Amino acid sequence: MALYSYVKAPVRSVGTVASANIYYYDNFPKKKTTLGDVVFSVVGNTQEFLINSKFIGALIPVFLIVAGFTMIYQQFFPDFKEYLKLKVDYYDTTNIALASENYVSRAEYISNPGAEYFKELKDEAYATNQLLADPVSNEYKGKFQLSIPSLGIKDVRVIANVESGVEEIYDSYLEGGLAHFNGTGLPISDMKNNTVIYGHSASGNYYERTKDPTASFSELKNVKIGDEVIVKMEGKEYKYRVAKSKIVQPHDVSIVTGEIGKDTLTLFTCYPDGNSANRFVVVANPV
């Protein structure tokens, strides 16, 4: 045998290598992703985004400042606004206690224009001769109900033909409800006259806190064109749609007269709420 002879070692196959217990990463069992892993990942990515985002960093302080001012506004601005109005004599001198001293807390919020106002308004309206003679309406002495679903006003009692020129009378009828203006129309009549219903409004958030039906017309200013008004009377429902709303001077006789020969429903109250300076008027047409 030659000195430098050698024997070549046999080549191992892949199968031999695999059988030599050499394991690869893919052969290890994978860990299942849990909800906690997903939440942790989302929170981490969100934190990283918030930390690295200049826009978000500037937005958060602005949001906190706006939220703080909003809370302060809601808590203190209504009282501050009323304080300023009083300082500049915004309110006229016709604010009168609603009824007896038993209701002094309510009278702090609710404004009453006074009997003389209603008497003058009625005289001025009748002087125009725009209301048609209507015995059916004028002689009705019952009561009925009024609802405005969009405002949350439901089945508020209305006394018909209230003698508005006598304060003791209309005060007692407005206690817990609304009043129908004496001499105007009613839906039970075939005469095409203006039906007029009025009620108190209250300042601040008196109505929101108490839901006192005496001040239910505090919500009247929030009415929208097309809102439904329902009058329940003598076992029937009479439906109307709001056609317009407006703010007028106290002695605007159109509140009472409406339009000659037109069947309408007019609702009015003092405006601003709790203040008899003007009138907020809603006019609705029968459906």
What is the chain's mean pLDDT, rounded?
78
Contact criterion met (CB below 8 Å) for 173 and 198: no
Residues 140 and 201 in one domain: yes
> Where is 198: in which H helix or E strand?
strand 194-198
Residue 101 within any structural domain of the chain: no
Residues 70 and 189 in one domain: no
Residue 214 is which amino acid?
T
Query: Phi and psi of 116, rounded to 5°?
Result: -60, -35
Residue 103 within any structural domain of the chain: no
Residue 166 within any structural domain of the chain: yes
- Range of the structural domain that residue 75 is part of: 35-88
Residues 170 and 41 in one domain: no
| Residue ending a domain, choose from 88, 122, 150 | 88
- Provide the domain count of the chain: 2
Residue 4 within any structural domain of the chain: no
Query: Which of 9-13, 29-33, 44-48, 248-252 is predicted most confidently?
Result: 248-252
pLDDT at residue 91, as a whole number: 42
Please write the tens of the pLDDT for every residue from 56-73. 666 777 788 888 778 776
- How buried is 204 (Cβ within 10 angstroms: 0-12 exposed, 13-18 middle, 19+ buried)? middle
Residues 84 and 157 in one domain: no
Residues 146 and 62 in one domain: no
Residues 131 and 193 in one domain: yes
182-203: average pLDDT: 92
Residue 28 within any structural domain of the chain: no
Backbone conformation region of residue 234, classed left if phi is above 0, alpha if psi is from -120 to 50, else beta: left
145-164: average pLDDT: 94
Residues 70 and 135 in one domain: no
Residue 176 within any structural domain of the chain: yes
Residue 73 within any structural domain of the chain: yes
Residue (of 211, 213, 179, 216) closest to 201 by Cα position: 216
pLDDT at 22 over 60: no
How far, in Å, CA of 67 to CA of 61, rounded?
10
Residue, of 159 and 112, whose pLDDT is higher: 159
CATH number at residue 215: 2.40.260.10
Please write the tens of the pLDDT for every residue from 223-278. 999 999 999 999 999 999 999 999 999 888 888 988 888 999 999 999 989 888 89
Structure tokens at 243: 């056609």
Q: Of the given ranges (38-52, 97-111, 212-226, 256-270), which has the lowest mean pLDDT?
A: 97-111
Residues 149 and 74 in one domain: no
User: CA separation (Å) from 68 to 61, 63, 65, 204, 286?
Assistant: 11, 9, 5, 22, 47
pTM above 0.85, yes or no: no
Please write the tens of the pLDDT for every residue from 208-225. 888 999 999 999 999 999
Residues 117 and 80 in one domain: no
Residues 49 and 153 in one domain: no
Residues 136 and 278 in one domain: yes
> Where is 146: in which H helix or E strand?
strand 143-148
Q: Of the given ranges (41-55, 181-195, 271-285), which has the lowest mean pLDDT?
A: 41-55
Residue 104 within any structural domain of the chain: no
Q: Work out whether strand 194-198 and strand 178-181 pair parallel, antiparallel, or are unpaired.
A: antiparallel
Residues 136 and 64 in one domain: no
